[in-house]
Structure 1
């Protein structure tokens, strides 16, 4: 396995952290965004330590701040789990990246720890879910990365996106890909990477360079095959969402040669196998984006099921087979089962959710969990966390972060409440957009790290005026990847998945309609000011 030769560049420092030996890189600072407030050291549970041998599916969830690994038995129960941290680096304002070697190391540690709890001989397939849109460039022959992994949070590509928007390409990109022309998505990252590391595109055109999202990078290191699933591909702004193929027109707009891109396969796989390590010979049964996997774990194929994942950012997704309007929402592909037609979805992406609490907690020298515990039940302070612009439904990269309603009586607890409310209000904005698009939201399911915060979940119900269901089970993305991988090897069927019982806690709104409308009006006024101030600051 190619990553084995990279381990020699990694060693343990005195504080037991895994660090990469020095190489030519910009000075950079680390951000840790663990919204639960728990220690970010590598950890694992002992749920499966003494389990008898049985057929299991393993899954990796390669996230923004950590990699999680689980083992799922034939009844759909998580019998073992582990995790390993992943550092985020910010070498310059607006730049957010990972070290590609550390992405692999995090996945390796999490999987190895999992296989200390269960027998590798019991594992019949591996599924992978991943943070989406993040992009890395590597050498096809050596397997060495040429670039950092540009995070989905990275905004260094603003000028590229604005130039293309000024040239009038925004509508074309949205029509073909279903996505707005925004720095969050992979295409402008691809342009930046090629401009930086292969400006003439010579090596990209002859296939010497490979470019891919996290799923492709993990799959390459597991199997030696350069591939992606159609759901991850649909988040790159390079895919024709109608044909499921790379779009020649979009490749031309972003100046990305087709030869450097991975081949597109379904989310449920039977065509690639792991080549090294304890799981050598097992099929890589699923590649799927984390939000897509979470929706699948909630039986999101059922009409009206809407999933809200609240982590560093937030993703609201629902299956939508028909085009039902715009309203600032993204059209995307949720998954594809073997040769079936891809399942289409609508999604809204919020840039700052848990990141807001992490930022404020760091400013106040608290943990995010302690900050959330201090929050008042209500406040007049309104916080718009447009640190790097606003995502859905506004898609305004010029918007700026603002705090309003401050007074001499404002306390730390008011700021904590405003930070929680900012997450809930952005989600309520998306719910309104879904309603305007004609989506019937029959069930709204909340998962992710912040779903454990009861105050936040209540705020979501109050801001939206709708009841929400909170998933009791953790690791929705990993479970979804495992579900797909299990399907690929016949360990269970779709009928089996439909018959599984999941446990949810229902949370009802507690505020009156008048109070909710008043708070929503104040929020929308604050958002408008945030956008106007950013617009003025750009000199337009």
Structure 2
């Protein structure tokens, strides 16, 4: 048993990666699935698509590497967070499509709860804001909307994607999740480390629906789906898994992941920081029974802006075309894109805002749009870092940002990020830090991989990007971005 199977169930695709005894990638498989947009601002997945692509990619990579299930010591699962599924415990069949983290349909529920005075209580107990982003109001919406759901609530189970996958993998014997996923539901008290009865009552969610919460390195069950028993020994939400994979184990260390969205986490150690800048206090990870906290800034649209260039505007055929196109943009134009396609996340938290483009001229074209899309990631990250420094004194001292995710392959984007942030940006040798993080948790749990300190020592650098932009230019660009944000929020 010298392999670890990492399941990475993401927003647009599912991947399975096999790591060998030295934590090197032995093989991988990936498959995209359909995105469903029933109405403006609504985003759904068919849970069966999530399940089928996970099973297919796992079987594919096992076959590709030429091993059997008996060679796999453990499974680790990382997943898109907040995405919500409710299923029948007897049949395992979902009663509604999964409501994705990007979905904004519950904005009115959040507004009503805020009017009733619940917002401060939610933040105090969960570290989160009262926003449609999180799972709690999604659960309430499904229970209130699906005919007969409330009447048979005792027969139903709720879970984030990790929980649904474990239920299926274990043949319906384990209804569990980990602390990092529970912390994103708006029903879990991250101070007390348990489901919060008051919050569940606020949302009218029966606590019988909720899974058991374990640490990231818990014993989540055993699957025999691939031909032999394999224990599931690691689970973490995707951004927390990336934090682990980037070895951000010391307070003050920070990582930012650039995938569909952008998520920056700053390790705050034993301290749960109460943000005054509308950032999130959350659980970074729970290992060996100990909780480590983080400040998090969540940007809804990062790589999705490039997908929009490809699928919406059709000005590129592949994401890799965005960099050379952006580099060809007219230097005399300064087009700014605020990609609020599904609202604005931290630190603005405006569910009703929508995307906008500023500074267009008659000569603006595809190149200027591509540059604006890539630069929007840097501008949004800059706002997050400023907010983190305001919230936590040690955050202001962060001078190195570790990055990962698909957009990090773009040197142009990473250089602009370093310039606009005025910090060094370190890109690791391996960009698949999310899967690596949960693979290490699972491997360490069964004694195959090294301890935390030794794992941290294996982190290796691909390239550093140092700031080159002049202070005056940086200030001018940041000021123009701030005006664009203000105008978008007022529409």
Superposition TM-score tier, normalisation by shorter sequence: over 0.9
CA separation in 2, counterparts of 1:350 and 1:109? Answer: 30
Q: Distance in 1 between matches of 2:284 and 2:462?
A: 22
How many residue pairs are counted as aligned between the two chains? 476
- Bigger shift: residues 455-464 or 71-80: 71-80
Quote the Cα distance in structure 2 between the aligned partners of 1:150 and 1:509.
Answer: 40
- Once residues 214 and 222 of structure 2 are traced to their aligned partners in structure 1, the CA distance between those partners, rounded to angstroms, is 14
Instruction: Evaluate the alpha carbon distance shift between residue 469 and residue 258 of structure 1 in structure 2; reply closer, same or farther with a 3 A threshold.
Output: same
Question: Could you list the per-position Cα deviations for residues 474-510 of structure 1 after superposition, in whole angstroms to 9, with x for gaps in the alignment?
Answer: 3211111100001110112224313324233100122
Q: Which residue of 1 aligns with 2:480?
A: 522
Secondary structure at 2:230 match in 1: coil
Say if 2:240 is the partner of 1:292: yes
Aligned match for 2:282, one of 328, 332, 338: 332
The residue number in structure 1 matching 2:334 is 380
CA shift, 1:303, in A, is 2.4
Q: Distance in 2 between matches of 1:243 and 1:129?
A: 24
The residue matched to 2:16 in structure 1 has which SS? strand
What is the CA distance between 1:271 and its match in structure 2?
4.8
SS of the equivalent of 1:342 reads: strand
TM-score normalized by structure 2?
A: 0.94
Q: Alpha-carbon deviations, 1:316-358, whole Å to 9, x = none? A: 01211313341121011122124x2211111110011111121
Aligned pair 1:56/2:14, yes or no? Answer: no
Structure 1 residues 241, 501: CA separation in 2 closer, same or farther (over 3 Å shift)? closer
Matches within 5 A, 1:365-376: 365=314, 366-367=316-317, 368-376=319-327
Helix, strand or coil for the counterpart of 1:287? strand
Q: CA deviation at 1:57?
A: 0.9
Give the C-alpha shift of residue 243 in structure 1: 0.8
1:467 paired to 2:415:
no
Q: Could you state the TM-score of these two structures normalised by the residue count of structure 1? A: 0.86
Aligned 1:401-440 pairs, distance under 5 A? 401-437=355-391, 438=393, 439=395, 440=397
Distance 1:199-1:432 versus aligned 2 partners, 3 A rule:
farther
> Residue 273 of structure 2 contacts residue 281 of structure 2 at CA under 8 Å; is this kept in 1?
no
> Is the aligned partner of 1:175 residue 2:124?
yes
Find the residue that maps to 2:341 and give its secondary structure: coil
Structure 2: distance between partners of 1:451 and 1:90: 28
Displaced runs of 4 or more, over 6 A? none
CA contact (8 A) 2:404 2:428 kept: yes
- Structure 2 gap segments, 5+ residues each: none
> What's the CA shift string for 1:292-314, capped at 9, x where partnerless?
01110111112222110001111
Query: Do the aligned partners of 1:80 and 1:118 also contact (CA within 8 Å) in 2?
Result: no
Matches of 1:265 and 1:323, distance apart in 2: 19
Does structure 1 retain, via aligned residues, the 8 Å contact 2:274–2:281? no
Q: What is the RMSD computed on CA atoms of the aligned residues?
A: 1.5
1:98 match = 45
Which of the numbers 58, 74, 78 marks the counterpart of 1:111?
58
In structure 2, C-alpha distance between the alignment counterparts of 1:463 and 1:129, rounded to whole Å = 31
Kept in 2, the 8 Å contact 1:57–1:482? The answer is yes
Q: 1:227-249 deviations in whole A, cap 9, x for unaligned?
A: 11010000011011101101111
295, 313, 316: which one aligns with 2:261: 313
C-alpha separation in 1, matches of 2:490 and 2:158: 37
Unmatched 5+ stretches in structure 1: 1-53, 534-540
Counterpart among 87, 92, 101 of residue 138 in structure 1: 87
CA contact (8 A) 2:247 2:459 kept: no
- Correspondence for 1:269 among 218, 240, 262: 218
Alignment partner, residue 77 of structure 1: 24
Deviation at 1:202, TM superposition (A): 3.2
CA contact (8 A) 1:304 1:443 kept: no
Paired position in structure 1 for 2:272:
323
Name the structure 2 match of 1:26: none
Shift of 1:200: 7.0
Structure 2: distance between partners of 1:504 and 1:182: 37
Distance 1:199 1:349 in 2: 35
Partner of 1:483: 440
C-alpha distance in 2 between matches for 1:150 and 1:200: 16
Q: Per-residue CA shift, 1:123-178, capped at 9, x if unaligned?
A: 11000000000001100001111110111011111111111112221111111110
2:222 aligned counterpart, secondary structure: coil
Q: 1:401 touches 1:530 (CA, 8 Å); kept in 2? A: yes
Give the secondary-structure state (helix, strand or coil) at the position aligned to 2:368: helix
Aligned residue in 2 for 1:343: 292
On the 8 A contact 2:17/2:435 being kept in 1, the answer is yes
Asked whether the equivalents of residues 267 and 287 of structure 1 are also in contact (C-alpha less than 8 Å), the reply is yes
Q: Aligned in 2, Cα 1:499/1:118: closer, same or farther, shift over 3 Å?
A: farther
1:260 correspondence with 2:209? yes
The residue number in structure 2 matching 1:222 is 169
